[in-house]
């Protein structure tokens, strides 16, 4: 059976091998042919990778070949897609991005007319149509044009949401990961009155996520400590994630931000239920939310699972330790810039160092690169080792081992009463995986 094209967040992989112009064209054509519109209108935006323009062109050609019309929005954060989709009434929106992956990777995310990422069933239908090659031939080609003013539309949407947020007097540092937030994040913060400095905001097509942004937030922490910043924020390449650093240089991850935001929303009667978190959330967050009498829903890793939990329960906010936080008042996917602004709103002029502190269980995470992540699920010896180590931590901590949905990695996470024990368990299990399945 052929490997599935779509992973946990669209199609993603190395440009030129996993992801090609031909595949982009086929995806654009199939998605448009299957869209619930006689002549579908599609938006395409992208991040700053050097392969972005050519994949954008392939997607646009595919949509036009199916008789659809395309508007190109240029470089914008991923959350701009559902915002603009709703504003302009598009039938589809495509985002060309590999998010936090290295520059050599790229990806395609697809949003439907409802503003959500398309369902598994819709992805399967696209894959089936590509595999069959049973494309229809429209009587005329579609049109391809620029969506002028798309950047300003996105900024204006944020400005309208935070019209009462006054950041005058606040010193903020932004790490834009040389990605899609490089222009947008500093612009909206300045419009709201902040004294803003930004770094890694000069994308060259190859420096996206390179030793910068949310995947290297520890480097930002080294620059911030004791320098007088009220807060610093680090985005990923496509801008759907954000992590932070306070003025002391302490890293503020997604769990910390969820504690801050849920407390703020609860205090103002705007929480609308509980908080959805993934299995990666630190147990300390569970304890803090329980103490605050906030209900918690636990989901598998992935923003679509968090979104499904929020929708099912009618709740407002949830997210991941990685900084991918969904606030349904802002939109149906993570928006790193909007979450940073909501965090500043919650602080009400105070520096980030004054946030509620999260008492964490010591945690260690190790990524193991393997040949084929599909072999992991069928390895009985590894399953026995993981079960044994999990049992040893029961009641005191936990062990979580899972395959990445977007890369050939197995992620091993251990929480234990001490950092040394968490490290030892993590290294033991990671070593066994590397020995059996490693490259």
Q: Is residue 335 part of a domain?
A: yes
Tell me how far apart the alpha carbons of residues 234 and 217 are, in angstroms, rounded to a whole number: 6
Q: Is residue 321 part of a domain?
A: yes
Residues 114/11, Cβ–Cβ less than 8 Å: no
Find tokens 């009155």 and name the residue.
193
Range name among 8-12, 37-41, 69-73, 107-111 with the lowest pLDDT average: 8-12
Give residue-wise pLDDT tens across range 358-369.
Answer: 988 898 999 999
**E strands present in 275-362:** 275-278, 296-299, 317-319, 325-327
Give residue-wise pLDDT tens across range 238-266.
Answer: 999 999 999 999 999 999 999 999 999 99
Instruction: Report whether pLDDT(1) > 70.
Output: no
The mean per-residue pLDDT over the stretch 56-60 comes to 98
Give residue-wise pLDDT tens across range 35-49.
Answer: 999 999 999 999 999
Residue that finishes a domain, picked among 148, 177, 209? 148
How big is the chain by its Cα radius of gyration, in Å? Answer: 22
Catalytic residue (one of 32, 51, 97, 99): 99
Q: Are residues 319 and 391 in the same domain?
A: no
The mean per-residue pLDDT over the stretch 404-410 comes to 80
Give residue-wise pLDDT tens across range 215-230.
Answer: 999 999 999 998 999 9
Residue that finishes a domain, picked among 310, 331, 354? 354
**Dihedral sign of CA atoms 275, 278, 283, 284 in order:** negative
Give residue-wise pLDDT tens across range 334-378.
Answer: 999 999 999 999 999 999 999 999 988 898 999 999 988 778 888
Q: Are residues 187 and 325 in the same domain?
A: yes
Q: Are residues 323 and 378 in the same domain?
A: no
Tell me how far apart the alpha carbons of residues 374 and 104 are, in angstroms, rounded to a whole number: 23
Instruction: Report whether pLDDT(3) > 80.
Output: no
Tell me how far apart the alpha carbons of residues 423 and 417 are, in angstroms, rounded to a whole number: 11
Residues 343/260, Cβ–Cβ less than 8 Å: yes
Q: Is residue 91 part of a domain?
A: yes
Alpha-helical runs (H) found in 206-313: 217-224, 254-267, 283-291, 303-313
Q: Are residues 312 and 369 in the same domain?
A: no
Q: Number of folded domains in the chain?
A: 3
Instruction: Report whether pLDDT(289) > 70.
Output: yes
Q: Are residues 310 and 425 in the same domain?
A: no
Q: Are residues 81 and 111 in the same domain?
A: yes
Cross-strand bridge partners of residue 245: 232, 251
User: Of 106, 109, 23, 37, which Cα lies nearest the Cα of 66?
Assistant: 37
The pLDDT assigned to 373 comes to 75
Q: Are residues 39 and 115 in the same domain?
A: yes
Q: Is residue 1 part of a domain?
A: no
Residue that finishes a domain, picked among 99, 132, 148? 148
Which 3 state secondary structure label does DSSP give 392? helix
The angle at the Cα of 286, spanning 284 to 288, to the nearest 5 degrees, equals: 70
The pLDDT assigned to 371 comes to 87
Q: Are residues 123 and 169 in the same domain?
A: no
Q: Are residues 98 and 175 in the same domain?
A: no
**Tokens representing 288?**
């803090």
Q: Are residues 294 and 394 in the same domain?
A: no
99 assigned to active site:
yes
Q: Are residues 107 and 198 in the same domain?
A: no
Q: What is the CATH number of the domain that holds 197?
A: 3.40.120.10
Residue 359: exposure state from Cβ atoms within 10 A (0-12, 13-18, ≥19) = exposed
Q: Are residues 187 and 263 in the same domain?
A: yes
Q: Is residue 31 part of a domain?
A: yes
The pLDDT assigned to 2 comes to 59
The pLDDT assigned to 343 comes to 98
Q: Is residue 371 part of a domain?
A: yes
The secondary structure of the chain in percent helix, strand, coil, rounded to multiples of 5, reads 40, 20, 40
Residue 300 is classified by DSSP as -
Q: Is residue 109 part of a domain?
A: yes
**What's the mean pLDDT when you consider all of the chain?**
94
* Host domain of residue 21: 6-148
Tell me how far apart the alpha carbons of residues 428 and 295 are, in angstroms, rounded to a whole number: 34
The pLDDT assigned to 378 comes to 87
């Amino acid at each position: 059976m052929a490997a599935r094209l779509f992973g946990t967040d669209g199609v993603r992989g190395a440009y030129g091998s996993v992801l090609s112009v031909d595949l982009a064209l086929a995806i654009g054509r199939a998605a448009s042919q299957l869209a619930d519109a006689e002549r579908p209108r599609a938006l395409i935006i992208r991040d700053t990778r050097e392969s972005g323009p050519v994949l954008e062109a392939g997607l646009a050609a595919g949509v036009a070949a199916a008789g659809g019309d395309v508007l190109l929005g240029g470089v914008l954060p991923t959350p701009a897609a559902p915002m603009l989709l709703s504003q302009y009434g598009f039938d589809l929106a495509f985002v060309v991005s590999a998010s936090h992956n290295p520059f050599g990777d790229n990806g395609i995310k697809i949003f439907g007319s409802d503003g959500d990422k398309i369902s598994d069933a819709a992805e399967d239908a696209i894959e089936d149509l590509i595999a069959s090659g049973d494309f229809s031939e429209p009587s005329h080609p579609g049109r391809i044009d620029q969506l002028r003013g798309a950047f300003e539309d996105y900024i204006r949407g944020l400005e309208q949401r935070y019209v009462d947020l006054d950041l005058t007097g606040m010193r903020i540092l932004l790490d834009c990961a040389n990605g899609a937030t490089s222009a947008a994040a500093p612009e909206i913060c300045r419009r709201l009155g902040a004294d803003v400095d930004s770094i890694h905001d000069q994308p060259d097509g190859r420096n996206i996520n390179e030793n910068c942004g949310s995947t290297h937030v520890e480097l930002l922490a080294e620059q911030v400590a004791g320098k007088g910043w009220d807060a610093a924020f680090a985005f990923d390449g496509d801008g759907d994630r954000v992590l932070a650093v306070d003025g002391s240089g302490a890293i503020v991850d997604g769990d910390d931000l969820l504690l801050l935001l849920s407390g703020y929303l609860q205090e103002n009667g705007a929480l609308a239920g509980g908080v959805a978190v993934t299995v990666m959330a630190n147990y300390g967050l569970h304890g803090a939310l329980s103490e605050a009498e906030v209900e918690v829903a636990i989901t598998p890793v992935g923003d679509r699972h968090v979104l499904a939990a929020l929708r099912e329960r009618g709740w407002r906010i949830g997210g991941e330790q990685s900084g991918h936080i969904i606030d349904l008042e802002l939109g149906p996917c993570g928006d790193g810039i909007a979450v940073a602004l909501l965090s500043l709103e919650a602080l009400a002029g105070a520096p980030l160092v004054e946030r509620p502190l999260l008492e964490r269980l010591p945690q260690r995470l190790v990524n193991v690169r393997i040949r084929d992540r599909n072999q992991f699920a069928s390895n009985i010896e590894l399953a026995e080792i993981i079960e044994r180590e999990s049992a040893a931590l029961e009641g005191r901590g936990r062990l979580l081992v899972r395959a990445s949905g977007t890369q050939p990695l197995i992620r091993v996470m251990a929480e234990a009463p001490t950092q040394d024990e968490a490290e030892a368990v993590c290294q033991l299990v990671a070593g066994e995986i590397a020995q059996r399945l490693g490259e």
